[in-house]
Amino acid sequence: MKLTTRGRYAVTAMLDLAINGGSRPVSLADISGRQEISLSYLEQLFAKLRRGQLVTSARGPGGGYRLARSGAEIYVAEIIDAVDESVDVTNCQGKGNCQQGETCLTHHLWEDLSGQIHDFLSHISLGDLMDGRGRRPSQQMTDGAFQTLSIR
């Protein structure tokens, strides 16, 4: 998982959609105007969001995008995953050159770490953000979640 400005753009746009989208779809031109993101760039992002089943689209006048589910059921992690896709798994894959198992060691470590952050963001929904809380109390990060975060 990466945390970059693109993910921020996507979360921003989706939140705009959650706030401004009632029964009617919201056009990208509207989001572009409100959030000051280039229209063409939004088109690229929403192509990915649609592929990721996070939004549905309607063409023609009065058309635009809607959330595919309620905001309470769309999590920040999903949005970021949809637009940031591939976490590159650079080093020491097929190559057997991991001396003392160390190159792979730190690689796994980092994967676990980013997995924890992913879990964390998986508990924050658009609805939570609109309601003014980061996360539902019922979905709490437990110490158990950290068992896997270790050197292998």
Q: If DSSP codes are grouped into helix, strand and coil, which group holds residue 55? A: strand
Q: How far is the CB of 86 from DNA (least distance, A)?
A: 8
Q: Which of 15, 27, 74, 122 binds its own copies (CB under 8 A)?
A: 15
Whether 41 contacts 32, CB under 8 Å: no
Structure-token pair, residue 44: 């690229």
User: How many of the other CB atoms lie within 10 Å of CB of 83?
Assistant: 24
Give whichever of 58 and 117 is closer to its own copies, judged by the CB atom: 117
Q: Does 12 bind its own copies (CB under 8 A)?
A: yes
**16 contacts which partner out of its own copies, DNA, none, CB within 5 to 8 A by kind?**
its own copies
Bridge partners, 125 (sequence order): 75
| Contact region with its own copies (CB under 8 A), list: 2-10, 21-29, 44-52, 62-70 | 2-10
| Contact region with DNA (CB under 7 A), list: 41-49, 69-77, 134-142, 144-152 | 41-49
Compute the C-alpha angle 86/91/94, nearest 5°.
100
